[in-house]
Amino acid sequence: MKTVAMVLFPDFLLLDMAGPMEVFSIANRYLAPTERYELSTIGTEHGALRASNGVSVHPDVHIDQADQAYDLLLVPGGPGAYSEKHPPLLDWLQSAVSRAGCYGSICTGAFVLGHAGLLDGYRVTTHWHYTERLIKAFPKATVETDKIYVQDRNLITSGGVTAGIDLALSVVAEDHGKKVAQDVAKVLLVVMKRQGSQAQFSPLMAAVAPHETPVTRVQNYMLEHLDEAFSIERMAGLATMSPRHFARVFAREVKMTPMEFLQSARIDCARNLLETTDLPLKTVAFKSGFGSVRHMRFLFSEKLGLTPTLYREQSS
């Protein structure tokens, strides 16, 4: 029997806890008694802890009493994970992880592990909205910005919220085989392996800076005329700069090349049209500036990991 523990703190995200724990609980229906998961919750405070949605949960044990060597130790995300540091929890985690067979985080729970010094030297991920923040906070970790979940040696981290279910299913598959994990996925009405990555949920293009500069003028012009053809020379002309100087200034200000910005803007435009309209793919491709469905399909597959048709189906 494997032991799985979830560490709870004030303002944790309830679904980050409930999703993975439900996966292990349902898996127990298909396992022999000696193979089942033993689930428990550990609290940073005595008594009930209030989740970010207002629901209170009474952990099984306080961290001062949790000295067991857990097979899997997980930390959920939520406002309490990325807004607070919880010093007693960080100290306890450092000791508990040394005894655990495997440890990990759901969503922004990665910040708790990071503050405990447990991400350094590992490949990790978190919710797409917080990847840049995680990169800046913990430069010794390698952050995978578009993965649903990442396993690196004895550390497993997941993307946002429901990605914790994907993480738990992967653990069940590794422990007991793909068939058991598939049975659990069917009960939960989720797919065993998602199409695409976190990139399909996050905008590829960063917002244009509010202050006006030659670069932002070009950016705004491109966004209003995505169906037109653009070259570095044309963009530079709009900014009244030489092509080389424009490319250098653009990359410095926007953190991507002009052509990367244009491509990302076109993909985001196409995504919006696929989500909000029933326009034919040919029209979507034209309005977004791809020129052809084939080109749009290639870039969608390359950047998002799925075709425009699958993207529309998953968004509807």
Residues comprising the chain, all counted: 316
Buried (b) or exposed (e) across 30-49, using 16+ Cβ within 10 A? bbeeeebbebebbbbbeeeb
If pLDDT is split at 50, 70 and 90, which confidence band does 210 have?
Answer: confident
pLDDT at residue 189 is higher than 90: no
Contact 126, 106 (CB under 8 A): no
Residue range 213-229: average pLDDT? Answer: 91
Percent of the chain residues topping a pLDDT of 90: 71
3-state secondary structure (DSSP) of residue 61: strand
| Structural domains present in the chain | 2-194 (3.40.50.880), 214-315 (1.10.10.60)
Find how far residue 152's CA is from the centre of its chain: 16
Which of 74-88, 190-204, 290-304 has the least mean pLDDT? 190-204
Residue from 164, 104, 160 nearest 127 by CA: 160
pLDDT at position 121: 96
**116 to 3, 85, 88, 275: CA distances (angstroms):** 22, 9, 10, 40
Percent of the chain residues topping a pLDDT of 70: 94
Residue from 68, 71, 75 nearest 95 by CA: 68
pLDDT at residue 202 is higher than 70: no
pLDDT at position 128: 83
Instruction: Provide the mean pLDDT of the chain.
Output: 90
Write the pLDDT tens digit of every residue in 160-182: 878 899 999 999 999 999 899 98
270 Cβ contact list (under 8 Å, min separation 6): 284, 285, 287, 288, 290, 296, 300, 308
pLDDT at position 158: 94
Residue range 137-144: average pLDDT? Answer: 94
pLDDT at position 306: 85
Write the pLDDT tens digit of every residue in 89-104: 999 999 999 999 999 9
CA–CA distance, 200 with 202 (Å, rounded to integer): 6
155 Cβ contact list (under 8 Å, min separation 6): 102, 103, 104, 113, 118, 119, 122, 124
Centre a 10 Å sphere on the Cβ of residue 189 and count the other Cβ atoms it contains. 6
CA–CA distance, 241 with 245 (Å, rounded to integer): 6
pLDDT at residue 205 is higher than 70: no
If pLDDT is split at 50, 70 and 90, which confidence band does 313 have?
Answer: confident
pTM of the model: 0.70
pLDDT at position 214: 92
pLDDT at residue 191 is higher than 90: no
Cα–Cα–Cα angle for 30, 35, 40, rounded to 5 degrees: 95
Phi, psi (degrees; rounded to nearest 5) at 142 = -100, 110
CA–CA distance, 109 with 80 (Å, rounded to integer): 9
pLDDT at position 301: 86
Which of 59-63, 111-115, 190-194, 238-242 has the least mean pLDDT? 190-194
